Copies of this chain bind each other. A is one copy, B any other.
Amino acid sequence: MDSLVKYGLVMIKYAPANDGICQKVCDRVGYERFTCYGADFRVEKLFDSSSLAFTTNELGLHVDLPYYDYRPGVQLLHCIRQCEVEGGDNQFVDAKRVVDRLKAEDPESFEILTKVKLDFRLIGKDFIDTHLQQARPMIELTDDGEFKGLAYNDQTRSPYINVPVGQVKEVYRALKKFHQAMYRQDNFINYKLKEGEVVAFDNNRVMHGRSAYTVTFKDGKDKSRLLEGAFLDWDEIYSRMRLLDESMNGTPRL
């Protein structure tokens, strides 16, 4: 948990490659955060999904659930079955670093993305029928102007931008600048999860994506990639850290 706070991304290796591991990890900390995808969700190919995540397509870098007023703090992904063919790699990028660079290199675009509210929405039924929407600036800052979180998700951004028409071009220009900074290789992790590995990352700070893959069968059995995911909130993580700090280090209570 300390490393997750510090670096925004950690990995657990050698977990069993079966269902329910994310829940077990979450239960050690607190409890899973329920969303419109249920408690645990399975990332696999579906043919009638309302989300690109549950297909075999490439997934551009993004954070999850920006159409919620309060985005879950941490996402877990557990690899139950990895495809033997090429593709299906997980990709991670520290958005804090991308934002810091954009601010230094193109303050105008940075400014626009902290001010202009973009609309995000999800309509469909993967777990329950849902029509969620939320307008928010893409780059969220604290009262002191520090990086607080990112809400970049082009897969669920609404098809229009709700600004006066004269401003549309500069918003798209700022989005393009961010997009270019985002894919620079020196801040880009490409890693194909192995079966039994669990990755946990800050859903407000670390963008994630995936390369495309194909559905495969072997001896009549489905050998396609299968991940299980879950969310966990920072409140529960900090609560557990305080309890452990008290019991292990004798740190006094508030």
Q: Which of B34, B132, B238 contacts A239 (CB 8 A)?
A: B132
- Compute how far the CA of A30 lies from the CA of B32 in the bound complex, rounded to whole angstroms: 17
Interface pair A235/B128, CB less than 8 Å apart: no
- Compute how far the CA of A158 lies from the CA of B70 in the bound complex, rounded to whole angstroms: 25
- Compute how far the CA of A30 lies from the CA of B130 in the bound complex, rounded to whole angstroms: 9
A223 touches B (CB below 8 Å): no
Interface pair B31/A254, CB less than 8 Å apart: no
Closest chain-B Cβ to A126's Cβ sits at a distance in Å of 13
- Compute how far the CA of A31 lies from the CA of B32 in the bound complex, rounded to whole angstroms: 14
Q: Which residue of B lies closest to A29 (CB)?
A: B128
A86-119 near B? 1/0 per residue, CB < 8 Å? 0000000000000000000000000000000001
Interface pair A131/B239, CB less than 8 Å apart: yes
- The B-contacting residues of A in range 214-254, CB under 8 angstroms, are 233-236, 238-239, 242-243, 246, 253-254
Closest chain-B Cβ to A143's Cβ sits at a distance in Å of 10
What number of A residues sit within 8 Å (CB to CB) of B?
31
A68 touches B (CB below 8 Å): yes
Interface pair A128/B31, CB less than 8 Å apart: yes
Interface pair A235/B131, CB less than 8 Å apart: no
- Compute how far the CA of A121 lies from the CA of B238 in the bound complex, rounded to whole angstroms: 12
Q: Which of B68, B134, B235 contacts A132 (CB 8 A)?
A: B235
Note all chain B residues with C-beta closer than 8 A to A235.
68-70, 132, 134
A33 touches B (CB below 8 Å): yes
Interface pair B133/A254, CB less than 8 Å apart: yes
Q: Which residues of A contact B (CB under 8 A)?
A: 30-34, 36, 68-70, 119, 121, 123, 128-134, 158, 233-236, 238-239, 242-243, 246, 253-254
Q: List 27 A-B contacts (CB under 8 A).
A: A30-B36, A30-B128, A31-B128, A32-B34, A33-B34, A34-B34, A36-B236, A36-B239, A68-B235, A69-B70, A69-B233, A70-B70, A70-B235, A121-B254, A123-B253, A129-B243, A130-B243, A131-B243, A131-B253, A132-B235, A132-B238, A132-B239, A133-B238, A133-B242, A133-B254, A134-B235, A158-B254
